[in-house]
Amino acid sequence: MKTLNAIFDAWLDELKMIVKDEGVMLFFLFLPIGYPLIYSWIYNNEVAREVPVVLIDNSHSAKSREFAQKYDASPDVCIAYRSGNMAEAKSLIGRGEAFGIIYIPHDFDKSLGRHTQAHISVYCDMSYMLAYKAIYQTATAVSSEMGSTDVAPLLFEEVPIFNVTGGYGNFIIPGVVILIIQQALLLGVGMIAGTRREKLRYGRALRDQEWKISGMIGHSLAYLMLFSVMLAWITLIVPRIFGFVSLVHGPTLFHFLVPYLLACIFFAITVSSFVRYRESVMLIVVFTSLPMLFLCGLSWPLSNISGFWQGISYAFPSTFGVRGFVRMSSMGAELADVEHEYLGLWIQTIIYFLISCTIYQLRGRFFYKNQDSTTK
């Protein structure tokens, strides 16, 4: 009963500390609520439309005009400028008035008439990935259509699965929002830990349970209560607001997110042991956010990540969380289909829980020993 009272006191004190601290409130509430809305709104169009390009037609033939008409008819691009030379077209891209160049050589029609391979060159501004995708894929589609014979040897129909829109929002948002939960916990818990250490440096005493295992459990329950609501908002409500693909089932999602949230909480407590000042945690999160996004395999294929870095990625809950949630949300995977990620999260939960318990015990002995020696 005494232990339960200590846990309850620590839980209540942590909630009060969170509410009174504007910085922590910013990370615990605004970050998980506002960022998914901002990201989803930015990428809600899914794909780039009417991307301006420059056409250089040196063929001036019926076939080159047919290609240009079909290319311009695509909803993804538009021929905004026509130029007679490459220098002028490059200057338009340099001024940001166009994002690509379609170059049709003078022998385009002659090559088609001889039934030899004709060439069309596509130049793109690679700094804008969505524009590059629209320009290149449209050129490929029009070329394939014009190059097909009257009687196709093999009829086929292209049917996209999972990400049926082919959009960037459905591709990136599920993984990003899961990563946001981990980073929000790192920021908030790290800031709270920095605050406690600053109080001790200035000689302000802390309550006993703040450095006991019962205190750690109470603090964790406070984070668990708050971020359970945040996870429900991110995974269930935000996708429906913006119409993103969500094939996940409620029970499957619940069973998967429980170990993910616990792993993130104890991971944040572990990392917070290295935070001496409130502001220090900002440097940690800024430094790690982009590498974590790459290491989870969302924006860079796992086959191109070395074994060493894949091993490093297993230390972060976001690695298993993002991979598992994307499969469930975008592909309708069941818990058995993400068994590797599910077990990985439970292993992380146990490991980081034990580390957190050890940290609280060691820190408590260290700080209170110093306080006693200072008093004497």
CA torsion through residues 316, 320, 321, 323, sign = positive
For residue 162, pLDDT beyond 80: no
Rounded Cα distance, 122 and 131, in Å: 12
Q: Give the domain-ending residue among 147, 179, 205.
A: 147
pLDDT at residue 376, rounded to an integer: 47
pLDDT at residue 207, rounded to an integer: 55
For residue 275, pLDDT beyond 70: yes
- What total number of domains does the chain contain? 2
Q: How confident is the model at residue 237 (pLDDT cuts 50, 70, 90)?
A: confident
Q: Please tell me whether residues 92 and 69 are part of one structural domain.
A: yes
In a domain, 162, yes or no: no
Which pTM value belongs to this model?
0.74
pLDDT at residue 375, rounded to an integer: 46
Cβ pair 331, 241 in contact under 8 A: no
Find the CATH number of the domain harbouring 110: 3.40.1710.10
Rounded Cα distance, 177 and 166, in Å: 19
Residues of the chain with pLDDT > 70, as a percent, come to: 85
In a domain, 197, yes or no: yes
- CA dist 203 → 17, 18, 90 (Å): 18, 21, 65
For residue 153, pLDDT beyond 70: no
Q: List pLDDT tens digits, range 28-44.
A: 988 888 888 887 777 76
Domain that includes residue 129, residue range: 51-147
pLDDT at residue 374, rounded to an integer: 47
- CA dist 104 → 69, 74, 141, 145 (Å): 13, 18, 16, 16
Higher pLDDT, 206 or 333: 333
Q: Which of 45-54, 192-201, 237-246 is least confident?
A: 192-201
pLDDT at residue 291, rounded to an integer: 82
Q: Please tell me whether residues 83 and 171 are part of one structural domain.
A: no
Q: Which of 38-47, 108-117, 197-206 is least confident?
A: 197-206
Cβ pair 288, 185 in contact under 8 A: no
Rounded Cα distance, 112 and 149, in Å: 12
In a domain, 109, yes or no: yes
Q: Give the domain-ending residue among 147, 177, 212.
A: 147
pLDDT at residue 297, rounded to an integer: 79
Q: Please tell me whether residues 27 and 129 are part of one structural domain.
A: no
Q: Please tell me whether residues 90 and 238 are part of one structural domain.
A: no
pLDDT at residue 185, rounded to an integer: 92
Q: What is the DSSP string of 12-80?
A: HHHHHHHHH-HHHHIIIIIHHHHHHHHHHHHTTT-S--SEEEEEEESS-SHHHHHHHHHHHTSSSEEEE
pLDDT at residue 361, rounded to an integer: 77
What are the backbone angles phi and psi of residue 18, rounded to the nearest 5°? -65, -45
Considering 177-191, 230-244, 277-291, the range whose residues carry the highest mean pLDDT is 177-191
Q: Which of 104-108, 126-130, 204-208, 244-248 is least confident?
A: 204-208
In a domain, 161, yes or no: no
Considering 19-23, 114-118, 171-175, 361-365, the range whose residues carry the highest mean pLDDT is 19-23
CA torsion through residues 330, 27, 5, 229, sign = negative
Q: How confident is the model at residue 148 (pLDDT cuts 50, 70, 90)?
A: low
Helix (H, G, I), strand (E, B) or coil at 3: helix
Instruction: Please compute the mean of the pLDDT values over residues 49-54 and round it to a whole number.
Output: 89
Q: Please tell me whether residues 310 and 330 are part of one structural domain.
A: yes
In a domain, 160, yes or no: no
- CA dist 252 → 163, 189, 195, 324 (Å): 20, 28, 37, 11
Q: Which of 352, 351, 208 is nearest to 273 (CA)?
A: 352
Q: Give the domain-ending residue among 117, 147, 177.
A: 147
pLDDT at residue 133, rounded to an integer: 81
The mean predicted confidence, pLDDT, of the chain is: 82
For residue 343, pLDDT beyond 90: yes
Q: Please tell me whether residues 229 and 301 are part of one structural domain.
A: yes
Q: Please tell me whether residues 18 and 128 are part of one structural domain.
A: no
In a domain, 155, yes or no: no
Q: Which of 43-47, 85-89, 236-240 is least confident?
A: 43-47
Q: How confident is the model at residue 351 (pLDDT cuts 50, 70, 90)?
A: very high
In terms of DSSP H, where are the helices of the chain?
2-20, 22-25, 31-42, 62-72, 86-94, 108-113, 129-147, 168-201, 213-232, 238-242, 250-272, 280-295, 307-313, 317-331, 339-375
pLDDT at residue 228, rounded to an integer: 92
